[in-house]
Amino acid sequence: MPIDIAAENALTEGRDTFANLTTSGHGDIHAQGFARSISVNIGETVQFCVDGASTTIDIYRVGWYGGDGFRKVATVTNTPTTQPEAEVIPDTNGATTCTSWSVTAEWDVPSDATSGLYVALVRSVAPYAPNAFYISFVVRDDDAEADIIYKTSDSTWGAAYNHYGTKAAVDGKNVYGTGVGVGNIMDRSLVVDYHRPVITRGTVPQTFWMACEMPLIRFLERQGYSIKYVSSVDLDQQGVPLLQKGQIFLSSGHDEYWTTPMRDAVETWRDEHGGRSIFMSGNEVFWRARYIYDGDRVTMACYKDTMPGPTGYTRTAGSPFDPVMWTGTWKDTRWPDRRPEWFLTGTDFGMNGVYDYDVTVPKNPYGGLKVWGGSSLVDSDITLTRIMGFEADHAHPTQPAGSYRILAAYTRAAPGGLSDANGENYTMPGNIEWGIVAQRYAGGGFTVGFGTCQWSWALDATHDRGEGTPVSAAAQQFTVNLLNDMGAAPATLMSGVTLQPVNSLDEYAVEPGSQPAPATSWRLYDGTSVAPFLLLDGELAPLA
């Protein structure tokens, strides 16, 4: 049975707002904890491991809910417990795990629960209350079908950037280094464990799901789309059968870390089953990672073979390091089996963060595309505030002429620097050649790459960072049009957006020769020439 998101969001009991539930930074370290599984199916049990004196845990589902955004679905009793310190994982250059923590609370997910992203708020006792700690997890519905399969970017916010180390909480290691923020890459750990409290929002809030994923979830559920939610771990484990339960696979936010089974599944679904994907994300599919499973414990390895070090290891950048497989960037030219991200997404990571740039989309030529129908772009240029960021990609279509279309584009200087061809250095001079790329594949599959983390900021104004960023009615209309074309119809369409005629994607795959020739060849950021492709913004969009 399809998932009824509209009915879920019509429920009023237990609604609450982001403002009421917002914690201070990464939350109260006196109430820290984690779920032993990043995702569970309906009817299964979530087990929580919490340290400290907390006695209750409130569980919320993330959605629209009339604009409130959260609905409390349960309160469970927690047993106050002093957990041991995290253990150092051998041969990982200092990675830690809390897998030895005992289970202090459980929630039996009802068999009629609605799939979604859920967050458990663990509140401490005086004098630390009312601050709280977030424990995020996904509730799946494996048997259900849905128009959209929404994958969370948990491999990024739940694993890679999490710098939990000890119960002091803010000085541990991750695959970026040691200490708060991203640290020094030469002091990085080689793996990261899901069995830890997540400490990231206080120092790198752009990576947490409340920055880029939450506004998209709010927008999608506001329209009443049929959605089922899965984690990165689920895609790694279930593969193509998981994708066959939906019409559209959707990646959002900062979806940086992908395993080979994840990528193989989406590409196989696209090429052999005509699958449709939207990468409404930036810096996506950048690092190749691998998952290690041990009971309910999941560890993600990413040795970052592309980078030198870390300190104490005698090796050079780009040389094999991970003893099992390459876990550097997917596009590293020094990896013999190189599989650049643009072969999956149509975009290529270019602008390292953190930046929030405006984008101007010109009426000519993009306003003439039916996917912009009903929007103000039909009549005049539009400016989308702060949507190019916090990291962004270059447009990089891979399909033959006639099988792709640039749906929007903008060029601007990137004073912070661009990624090189390997994804090792981020100080290359030049412009970010951003664009939304739609591509049709020979087997009937279809992919759209947005090439930015923050498109969702144009859709909904409630999110971490960028407070006060205005939404764009044109971007909202565009997004609804695109989803409608790809097979997802809204059940509760918001006021101000109209349902345009379905285009069946025909316009996005155009006849060879019908697109203007590019003015100049496009170049990689190390100066290497590559085949030219259509990038219409070069003359139409001034540098910002």
Whole-angstrom distance, CA of residue 68 vs CA of residue 65: 5
pLDDT value for 397: 94
pLDDT value for 527: 34
* 201 contacts: CB under 8 Å, gap ≥ 6: 23, 25, 26, 27, 134, 208, 210, 464
Which range scores top for mean pLDDT: 35-44, 120-129, 462-471?
Answer: 35-44
Domain ranges in the chain are 5-238+287-301, 345-540
Give the pLDDT confidence of 346-363 residue by residue, as tens digits.
Answer: 999 999 989 999 999 999
Please report the sign of the dihedral spanned by the C-alpha atoms of residue 101, residue 106, residue 109, residue 114: negative
Whole-angstrom distance, CA of residue 135 vs CA of residue 27: 10
pLDDT reading at 526 higher than 80: no
In terms of phi and psi (left: phi > 0; alpha: psi -120 to 50; beta: otherwise), the region of 158 is: alpha
pLDDT reading at 68 higher than 50: yes
Tokens of 70: 């959260």
Whole-angstrom distance, CA of residue 474 vs CA of residue 470: 12
Whole-angstrom distance, CA of residue 330 vs CA of residue 286: 6
Band of residue 306 on the pLDDT scale cut at 50, 70, 90: very high
On whether the CB atoms of residues 146 and 226 are closer than 8 A, the answer is yes
Tokens of 227: 């959605």
Mean pLDDT of 324-338: 97
Q: Which residues pair with 249 in a beta bridge?
A: 149, 277
Whole-angstrom distance, CA of residue 491 vs CA of residue 495: 12
**Beta strands, E only, 132-275:** 132-140, 146-151, 173-174, 177-178, 191-193, 227-230, 246-253, 257-259
Q: Which tops the pLDDT comparison, 386 or 180? A: 386
pLDDT reading at 180 higher than 60: yes
Q: How many CB atoms lie within 10 A of CB 100?
A: 12
pLDDT value for 507: 81
Q: How far is residue 367 CA from its own chain's centroid?
A: 28
Mean pLDDT of 118-140: 93
pLDDT value for 408: 96
Mean pLDDT of the chain: 91
Q: Which CATH topology does 5-238+287-301 take? A: Immunoglobulin-like (2.60.40)
Mean pLDDT of 272-281: 97
Lowest mean pLDDT among 175-184, 324-333, 335-344: 175-184
Give the pLDDT confidence of 184-243 residue by residue, as tens digits.
Answer: 999 999 999 999 999 999 888 999 999 999 999 999 999 999 999 999 999 999 999 999
Q: Is 504 exposed, middle or buried (0-12, 13-18, 19+ CB in 10 A)?
A: exposed
Band of residue 535 on the pLDDT scale cut at 50, 70, 90: very low
Distances (CA, A) of 109 to 123, 309, 332: 21, 44, 42
Give the pLDDT confidence of 241-252 residue by residue, as tens digits.
Answer: 999 999 999 999
pLDDT reading at 374 higher than 70: yes
pLDDT reading at 532 higher than 80: no
DSSP for 283-340, written as a single string: STT-EEEEEEEETTEEEEE---TTS---TTS---TTS---SSS--SBTT-TTSTT---
In terms of phi and psi (left: phi > 0; alpha: psi -120 to 50; beta: otherwise), the region of 296 is: alpha
Pairing of strands 15-17, 69-77: antiparallel
Band of residue 509 on the pLDDT scale cut at 50, 70, 90: low
Q: CA angle 138-144-149, nearest 5°?
A: 55
pLDDT value for 542: 26
pLDDT value for 168: 84
Band of residue 130 on the pLDDT scale cut at 50, 70, 90: confident
On whether the CB atoms of residues 356 and 461 are closer than 8 A, the answer is no
pLDDT value for 128: 85
